[in-house]
């Protein structure tokens, strides 16, 4: 929220939240929020919604929360509960930063670090819990642009692809809200795709976009990580001495 809300704006958000995620008609707003009778006339409701979007949306022209439902009215899309990432050890700060970037409207995010740093686990869990309709592509075995494009197209149900420019349209048509390219090793027109959907990539080297660097775990986190892995293998709580770990 960029500035203080008026009592009327608070009332609108409260009414929409009570009815979320379902849409609310202009007639219902006119009657239950404005307290007026009859059919709403003029553009007063629409102008108020427009002002409200400027206060609560990162990009008011492409609202993420306060949506227009054509032919009906408006709906408030409440953000999902932020991921807890309880399957990742020692990455609380990094995962929180990814959420902040995406929530803030960042369109290109890149995660890089050495092998075994947890890049793939991190972004896959992010896709699972942050996005509603994510698309995750394993690019590690793809050594060419064509292979990556075919993999993305196949995931979107397209067997033949006539150029990379169609990917953006396909992502929009399928309502994908997060594209993850894990282990990307080739150059792609990601800036164009990011106009349609936020794109998260991983690799062992830096790349364009907001970069998150994953290094080694601190000693306490490393011990916790190994204990968890041992327990996963043995099926029993690990009691190995810390000096051995």
206-219: average pLDDT = 76
162-173: average pLDDT = 78
Q: Which residues pair with 149 in a beta bridge?
A: none
CA 169, CA 134: separation in Å to the nearest integer? 15
The residue assigned the tokens 């027109």 is 189
Q: What is the pLDDT of residue 130?
A: 84
- Contact between 208 and 108 under an 8 Å Cβ cutoff? The reply is yes
Kindly tell me if the per-residue pLDDT of 108 is higher than 50: yes
- Contact between 201 and 181 under an 8 Å Cβ cutoff? The reply is yes
Rg (CA), the chain: 23
Q: What is the dihedral of CA 185, 187, 190, 191, to 10 degrees?
A: 140
Which pTM does this prediction carry?
0.58
Q: What is the pLDDT of residue 234?
A: 67
Position with higher pLDDT, 9 vs 128: 9
Kindly tell me if the per-residue pLDDT of 105 is higher than 70: yes
The pLDDT tens digits of the residues spanning 189-204 come to 788 889 999 999 999 8
Q: What is the pLDDT of residue 87?
A: 55
Task: Return mean pLDDT, the chain.
Answer: 81
- The 8-class DSSP code of residue 6 comes to P
């Amino acid at each position: 929220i960029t500035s203080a809300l008026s009592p009327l704006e608070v009332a609108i958000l409260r009414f929409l939240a009570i009815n979320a995620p379902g849409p609310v008609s202009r007639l219902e707003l006119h009657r239950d929020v404005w307290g007026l009778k009859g059919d709403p006339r003029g553009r007063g409701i629409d102008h108020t919604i427009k002002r409200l979007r400027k206060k609560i949306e990162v990009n008011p022209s492409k609202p993420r929360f306060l949506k227009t439902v054509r032919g009906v009215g408006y709906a408030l899309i409440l953000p999902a509960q932020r991921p807890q990432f309880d399957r990742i050890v020692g990455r609380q700060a990094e995962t929180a930063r990814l959420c902040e970037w995406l929530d803030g409207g960042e369109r290109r995010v890149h995660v890089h670090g050495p092998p075994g740093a947890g890049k793939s686990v991190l972004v896959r869990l992010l896709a699972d819990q942050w996005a509603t309709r994510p698309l995750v592509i394993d690019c590690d075995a793809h050594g060419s642009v064509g292979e990556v494009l075919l993999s993305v197209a196949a995931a979107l149900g397209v067997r033949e692809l006539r150029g990379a420019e169609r990917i953006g349209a396909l992502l929009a048509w399928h309502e994908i809200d997060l594209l993850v390219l894990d282990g990307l090793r080739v150059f792609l027109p990601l800036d164009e795709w990011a106009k349609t959907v936020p794109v998260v990539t991983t690799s062992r080297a830096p790349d364009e976009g907001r970069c998150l660097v994953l290094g080694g775990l601190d000693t306490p986190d490393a011990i916790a990580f190994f204990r968890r892995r041992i327990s996963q293998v043995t099926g029993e709580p690990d009691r190995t001495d810390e000096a051995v770990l």
